[in-house]
Amino acid sequence: MIIKVALIGNPNVGKTAIFNALTGSRQHVGNWPGVTVEKKEGRCTHRGAEMEVVDLPGIYSLTASSIDERIARNYIIKERPDVVVDIVDASNIERNLYLTLLLLELEANLIVALNMMDIAASKGYEFDTEKLSLLLGVPVIPTVATTHFGIRELKDAIIEAASGKNKRRKVTIGYGEDLETEIRRIEEMIMEDPHLSGTYPPRWLAIKILERDEEVIGILERYQKKDVLEVVGWEK
Amino acid sequence: MPGRGGRIFGKRGINELGDESGDINEPVDGKSIKSAIPLGLLSEGEEGIIIAHRCGRGLRRRLLELGFTPSSRVRVVSSFPGLIVDIKGSRIALGRGVAMKIIVSLNSGGGKDDN
C-alpha cells in the first residue's frame, strides 16, 4: 500500500524544503513566497512503507475564492490523501494556526510539522508541543527542514497516522450558541442524505453553507438539497 | 445585509468607524480614534494598529484571512505604486483602494507585536 501524503501550509514556511527532506528530491526552493505554483510529487520509503508526497501551493486559507486555495482545498476533499501534513512556521505561529483550524474543520487526517524551530528559538520562543498536540488533537512534530531535524520523527508520525491507530480526541471549534443551533439544524438535514454526508464532513458543509461558500452551495445544488439552501435564504 | 462601509469617514463621524454588521469593527480603545487614518495614507516605514475595516463582508473576510485582524500591528514596507505591508511576519501586497479601507491608529504601543 502506498501512503498518500499532502503537504500544506502558508506561503514561505518551508513546504518545499520539507518536501525535499522527505523525498530526497532537489526541487528548487526559493526564499520568497509563491514558489510552488502547481503541485509537485515525489516518493520515499520509510520502514518498509512507501509514501507518495504531494507539495501543495502555499495558502493562507481554504476559501474557494482564489485558484491556489482551490487547488489545495480540492486536493484534500477530492483526492483524500491518507495524511495531511500542515507545515507551520514556528516563528509565526498565530498567523499559521488559522489554516490549521480550517484543516481540522475539514476533518483531514492531520499532522502539524512545527517547522523553522531554529528561527523560533533565536527569537526566544519556547513550545510545549505536547500541550499544543493535546489542544489541537493531532500530533505536533518540531522540525528544521534545512538541517533535516525531525524529519525521521515526521515520517514515523505519517506512518502511524496512516495506520489509523491514532486514538486522538476530535477537536471541534465552537461558534457560540446562536450559530451552533443553526449549524446543528443544517447538519441534521445533511445527515438525511447518506451519500452526501458520507462524501463530505457534515459539520464542515454546514459551516461553509452559513459562510455562503460558492463551491459548497454548488455541491448542495447538485445534491438538490433545496431545504438546506432555503434555510440560508439562497435563491437562484 | 446591513449597510456596507462606504466613505472612509462617514457622515456619522469619526467615532463610528465600524459598520453595523460586525463587532470586529469596534475601536480598540477610545484614545486611538483621534489618530485614525487609512492605511493607504501611511508612508514607507510607518506603523499603525488596525482598528477597523471599512468594507463589505467579502473583502473584510479576505483581510482577516490574510492576518489584518483588529489590534494587529502593520508596517508599510513600500508605498508606491501599491503598498507592501508587513503584518504578522508576512509581506502582503495591497492595492491602494483596499489599503484605504483599512483604518489604523498611529498611536505607538498597545497593539499586538507579532514579530
| The pLDDT value given to residue A165 | 67
Give the 3-state secondary structure of A27-42. CCCCCCCCCCCCCEEE
- The DSSP secondary structure of A43-54, one letter per residue, reads EEEETTEEEEEE
Look at residue B68 and tell me if it is in a domain.
yes
| The pLDDT value given to residue A236 | 57
A73-86, pLDDT tens digit by residue? Answer: 888 998 899 999 99
Instruction: Name the average pLDDT for chain B.
Output: 75
| The pLDDT value given to residue A103 | 95
Look at residue B98 and tell me if it is in a domain.
yes
Q: In sequence order, what E strands does chain A have?
A: 2-9, 40-46, 49-55, 83-89, 110-115, 140-142
Distance CA A191, CA A204 (A): 12
| The pLDDT value given to residue A1 | 84
Look at residue B31 and tell me if it is in a domain.
yes
A105 and A214 in one domain? no
| The pLDDT value given to residue A171 | 86
Q: Which of A53-57, A155-159, B5-9, B19-23 has the highest mean pLDDT?
A: A155-159
Per the structure, how many domains does chain B have?
1
Per the structure, how many domains does chain A have?
2
Task: Tell me: ipTM over 0.90.
Answer: no
Look at residue A169 and tell me if it is in a domain.
no
Residue A60 near chain B (CB below 8 Å): yes
Confidence category of residue B14, pLDDT binned at 50, 70, 90: very low
Which of chain B's residues have a Cβ under 8 Å away from the Cβ of A98?
65, 67
Read off the pLDDT of each residue in B53-82 and give the average, rounded to a whole number: 93
Distance in Å, alpha carbon of A153 to nearest chain B alpha carbon: 27
A34 and A142 in one domain? yes
Identify which has the larger pLDDT, A67 or B65.
Answer: B65
Domain hosting B80: range is 23-105
Read off the pLDDT of each residue in B21-39 and give the average, rounded to a whole number: 60
| The pLDDT value given to residue A38 | 64
| The pLDDT value given to residue B7 | 38
CATH code of the domain covering residue B84: 2.30.30.90
Q: CB-CB: which of B61, B62, B67 is closest to A95?
A: B67
Look at residue A117 and tell me if it is in a domain.
yes
Domain hosting A216: range is 177-231
CATH code of the domain covering residue A194: 1.10.287.1770
Which of chain A's residues have a Cβ under 8 Å away from the Cβ of B91?
33
Look at residue A171 and tell me if it is in a domain.
no
Look at residue A168 and tell me if it is in a domain.
no
**What distance lies between CA A195 and its chain's CA centroid?**
23
Read off the pLDDT of each residue in B85-101 and give the average, rounded to a whole number: 94
Instruction: Say if the Cβ atoms of A11 and B65 lie within 8 Å.
Output: no
A153 and A117 in one domain? yes
- Residues near B69 by beta carbon (within 8 Å), at least 6 away in sequence: B24, B50
Look at residue B72 and tell me if it is in a domain.
yes
Instruction: Express as a percent the part of chain B with pLDDT over 90.
Output: 56
Residue A86 near chain B (CB below 8 Å): no
Read off the pLDDT of each residue in B49-76 and give the average, rounded to a whole number: 94
Q: Name the H helices within B1-115.
A: 57-65, 96-99
Q: CB-CB: which of A12, A60, A91 is closest to B65?
A: A60
Low-confidence stretches of chain A (pLDDT beneath 70) = 28-39, 165-169, 235-236
In Å, what is the CA distance from B46 to each residue of A99, A147, B29, B86? 29, 36, 20, 11
